Amino acid sequence: DQQVKQNSPSLSVQEGRISILNCDYTNSMFDYFLWYKKYPAEGPTFLISISSIKDKNEDGRFTVFLNKSAKHLSLHIVPSQPGDSAVYFCAASAGGNSGGSNYKLTFGKGTLLTVNP
């Protein structure tokens, strides 16, 4: 089941530069997209989300872009900091399009971001 795909298992960037993490999806019913950050031995921590009625959402250093026609979203982190080093998961749900029956999150495999000082 590859409905949500994160094709880059890892990404390495220099402190202060931009980190761009990518995610593709195949299910056109998805209408809500989220990014989570995960440190070892901890659970996923919610970062930022976007609904399908928007194409951009910004929160501090984090911006998520959604391209519905390409079924693609990306997370931009500017500027990147060493504390951002973690696994980033893209997730999606189809709740708004399911008539109230499908709110489960479908996750990608994650991208390990390393920010070097």
Partner 1 sequence: EPEVTQTPSHQVTQMGQEVILRCVPISNHLYFYWYRQILGQKVEFLVSFYNNEISEKSEIFDDQFSVERPDGSNFTLKIRSTKLEDSAMYFCASSVNRVFQPQHFGDGTRLSIL
Contact residues for partner 1, defined by CB under 8 A:
32, 34, 36, 41-46, 49, 51, 89, 91, 95-96, 100-110
Query: In the structure encoding, which two tokens stand for residue 28, read together?
Result: 């056109």
Q: Minimal distance in Å, beta carbon 32 to partner 1?
A: 5
At closest approach, how far in Å is the CB of 36 from partner 1? 8
Smallest CA-to-CA distance from 22 within 32, 31, 33, 30 is with 33
Radius of gyration of the chain (CA): 14
CB of 17 to partner 1, least distance (A): 27
Residue 75 token pair: 């997370």
Shorter beta-carbon distance to partner 1: residue 77 or 110: 110
